[in-house]
Amino acid sequence: MRDNLTAVAAALAIGAASFGAHASDVKVGGKMYMDLTDKTDKVGGNKTDATGYGVDVPRFYLSVDGKLDDVWSMNFTTDFKYSSSDGKSQPFVKKAYVQAKLDPLFVLRAGSADMPWIPFVEGVYGFRYVEPTTTDRLGLGNSADWGLHAGGSDSMFDYAVSIVNGAGYSNVSSRSKRMDFEGRADVKPFDGLTLAAGFYNGKLGQDHEVTAADNTASRYDGLISYVGNGLRFGGEYFSAKNFSKTAVLSGPEDKADGYSFWASYDITDIITVFGRYDDAKPSKDLAPNVKVKYYNAGVQYVAAKGISLALAYKGNKTDTGSSATDKKTDEVGIFGEFKF
């Protein structure tokens, strides 16, 4: 673990020094999500070892941005994930790309960069540090991947497309017989309102020369949101097919769909109340009786620039159709986002 941390620190230092020697503008940043909570986890009505008090650091990002000129720039971002439930942690590369901003409507990135859908929804939702968005939480998409990424925006229109390896940012050298595609387009008919649609299609990096993938993964997404006058509310819907390595490789095929609604209101400049509700069927063909519901509610306090704290409750319930295997998790505590 110490060797890994040393390697990450060295990479950031070398990257910053290299950028500093050639770039006109260099920025080093960081972001950490942390929580101190009391969790009650039950299966079949009985508490599991995941029950109790604990501190988690779900994500810790360190990044270096280097602007070479008005067109060219680079980004290197590491991620550090720790979970008190298993006591394991590991630093790894989240993003590493070179960017060419050829026009406001055409920005090209090569390497591991943000995918079109999940980071976009995170920005609209606004409370990623409390919980990932629904497709991310259910493992039905990647927030970043290796490939070619393009996008652009103006005052009323925004789009992003990616042609990627499909296996996610943690698989640096993933190779397959074809690359995956994800795209998103959104419009803003008037100030504050956003309408968006997204699409994913591919083999999730599993279609190899010797071991072929029999099926194709796909996902359709839709979103509507409004942000203005201290109010933020919206909803996301998804419909996915074969979005797992097993389903893509040899089957059996499976489908999933679900939705998420959220709302928040700024009571003052530093205090915000928020809530969210998700409902999903993660395995409509193989386990049609399984239903997953998630909900949260809380109050956010902006302690200082870059520091947001939330006193929140989160609940997650998986109805399997059998009381012996039903799962329920209740969690309450302090959630925080720290960034510079």
- Compute φ and ψ for 8, nearest 5 degrees: -65, -45
95 pLDDT exceeds 60? yes
pLDDT in tens, 192-245: 999 999 999 999 999 988 889 999 999 999 999 999 999 999 999 999 999 999
170 pLDDT exceeds 50? yes
The whole-chain average pLDDT of the chain stands at 91
Domains for the chain: give ranges and CATH numbers.
103-339 (2.40.160.10)
pLDDT in tens, 126-163: 999 999 999 999 999 999 999 999 999 998 999 999 99
List all residues 6 or more positions away from 17 whose beta carbon is below 8 Å from its beta carbon. none
User: What is the reported pLDDT for 5?
Assistant: 44
320 pLDDT exceeds 90? yes
- Is the alpha carbon torsion for 129, 131, 133, 137 positive or negative? positive
Please give, one letter per residue, the 3-state secondary structure of 106-146.
Answer: EEEEEEEEECCCHHHHHHHHCCCCCCCCHHHHCCCCCCEEE
User: What is the reported pLDDT for 176?
Assistant: 83
- Tell me: cis bond preceding 252? Omega within 30 of 0 counts: yes
What's the mean pLDDT in 303-328?
95
Calpha distance 230→234 (Å, rounded): 14
Calpha distance 121→143 (Å, rounded): 10
Distances 177 to 39, 204, 212, 284 between C-alpha atoms, Å: 44, 11, 8, 29
> Among all chains, which residue has been given the structure tokens 């990627």?
164
List all residues 6 or more positions away from 40 whose beta carbon is below 8 Å from its beta carbon. 47, 51, 329, 330, 331
> Among all chains, which residue has been given the structure tokens 């996610």?
168
User: What is the reported pLDDT for 17?
Assistant: 53
8 pLDDT exceeds 50? no
Q: Residue 109 CB: number of other CB atoms within 10 A?
A: 23
Q: Residue 194 CB: number of other CB atoms within 10 A?
A: 18
Calpha distance 64→9 (Å, rounded): 11
